[in-house]
Amino acid sequence: MDRQALQERFGLNGESAAIRQVVDKIRQIAKTDITVLLQGESGTGKDVTARAIHSISERKNSDLVIVNCGAIPEGIIESELFGHEKGAFTGAHEARKGYFEKADNGTIFLDEIADTPKNIQVKLLRVLESGEFFRVGSSKMYTSNVRVIAATNKDLWEEVQQGNFREDLYYRLDTVKIKLPPLRDRQEDVVPIFRKFVNEFSSKYDSVFKGFSDEARELLISYRWPGNVRELKNVAEQLVVLEKSQFIDKERLQKYLKGRQHQGSADNLPVVAAKSDSEDEHEFKSSSSQDPTLIYRALVEMRTDLSDLKKMLAKFLYSSFSQKEIKALPEAMPREFDPNDISVYTNEHGEESLGIRSMNRNENEEPAEGSAIQSFFGEDEIPSIEKAEKFLIQQALKKFEGNRRKASEALGVSERTLYRKLDQYELQ
Question: How many structural domains is the chain composed of?
Answer: 3
* 3-state secondary structure at position 178: strand
Task: Clarify whether residues 401 and 308 are in a common domain.
Answer: yes
Task: Clarify whether residues 334 and 420 are in a common domain.
Answer: yes
Check which CATH number belongs to the domain holding 175 and give it: 3.40.50.300
Look at phi and psi of residue 131 and say left if phi exceeds 0, alpha if psi is from -120 to 50, else beta: left
Query: In degrees rounded to 5, what are phi and psi of residue 344?
Result: -110, 130
Residue 421 pLDDT: 80
Residue 219 pLDDT: 92
Check which CATH number belongs to the domain holding 217 and give it: 1.10.8.60
Task: Clarify whether residues 177 and 196 are in a common domain.
Answer: no
Where in the sequence is the domain holding 371, given as residue range(s)?
A: 279-424
Supply the DSSP symbol for 72: S
Buried b (16+ CB within 10 A) or exposed e, 336-372: ebebebbbbbeeeeeeebbbbbeebbeeeeebbeebb
| C-alpha to C-alpha distances, 33 to 41, 148, 169, nearest whole angstrom | 25, 8, 17
Question: Rg of the chain over CA atoms, in angstroms?
Answer: 26
Global pTM reads: 0.62
Task: Clarify whether residues 174 and 228 are in a common domain.
Answer: no
- 251 within some domain: yes
Task: Clarify whether residues 104 and 173 are in a common domain.
Answer: yes
End-to-end CA distance of the chain: 36
Each residue's pLDDT expressed in tens, for the chain with a length of 428 residues: 788 889 889 989 899 999 999 999 999 999 999 999 999 999 999 999 999 999 999 999 999 999 999 899 988 999 999 999 998 888 888 999 999 999 999 999 999 999 999 999 999 999 999 999 999 999 999 999 999 999 999 999 999 999 999 999 999 999 999 999 999 999 999 999 999 999 999 999 988 888 889 999 999 999 999 999 999 999 999 999 998 878 899 989 998 986 443 333 444 444 444 444 444 444 444 444 444 444 444 443 443 333 455 555 555 554 555 555 545 555 444 444 454 554 555 555 555 545 545 444 444 544 444 455 555 555 555 666 777 788 888 888 888 888 888 887 788 777 777 777 887 777 76
- 306 within some domain: yes
- How far apart CA 180 and CA 271 sit, in angstroms, is 19
> Residues in the chain, how many?
428
- How many CB atoms are located within 10 Å of the residue 226 CB? 18
Let me know: does 352 contact 343? Beta carbons within 8 Å: no
Cβ partners under 8 Å of residue 75, min gap 6? none
Task: Clarify whether residues 330 and 417 are in a common domain.
Answer: yes
Residue 335 pLDDT: 46
Residue 28 pLDDT: 94
Supply the DSSP symbol for 63: -
Residue 259 pLDDT: 44
Query: In degrees rounded to 5, what are phi and psi of residue 108?
Result: -115, 130
Task: Clarify whether residues 32 and 151 are in a common domain.
Answer: yes
Residue (of 250, 253, 232) closest to 242 by Cα position:
253
Question: Of 150, 181, 212, which residue sits at a domain end?
Answer: 181
Cβ partners under 8 Å of residue 4, min gap 6? none
| C-alpha to C-alpha distances, 173 to 25, 34, 138, nearest whole angstrom | 16, 10, 27
Let me know: does 229 contact 45? Beta carbons within 8 Å: yes
Residue 290 pLDDT: 44
Facing residues of 65 across strands? 108
| Crossing angle of helices 404-411 and 308-317, rounded to 10° | 90
Residue 324 pLDDT: 52
Residue 280 pLDDT: 44
* 3-state secondary structure at position 176: strand
Residue (of 160, 166, 198, 265) closest to 13 by Cα position:
198
Question: pLDDT by residue (tens digit) across 125-136?
Answer: 999 999 999 999
Cβ partners under 8 Å of residue 91, min gap 6? none
Task: Clarify whether residues 47 and 120 are in a common domain.
Answer: yes
Residue (of 184, 213, 209, 180) closest to 196 by Cα position:
209
Task: Clarify whether residues 147 and 18 are in a common domain.
Answer: yes
Task: Clarify whether residues 356 and 389 are in a common domain.
Answer: yes
- 224 within some domain: yes
Task: Clarify whether residues 171 and 193 are in a common domain.
Answer: no
| C-alpha to C-alpha distances, 410 to 141, 343, 351, 384, 385, nearest whole angstrom | 53, 18, 13, 22, 19
- 52 within some domain: yes
Residue 165 pLDDT: 95
Question: Of 201, 232, 260, which residue sits at a domain end?
Answer: 260
- How far apart CA 255 and CA 355 sit, in angstroms, is 38
Task: Clarify whether residues 190 and 330 are in a common domain.
Answer: no
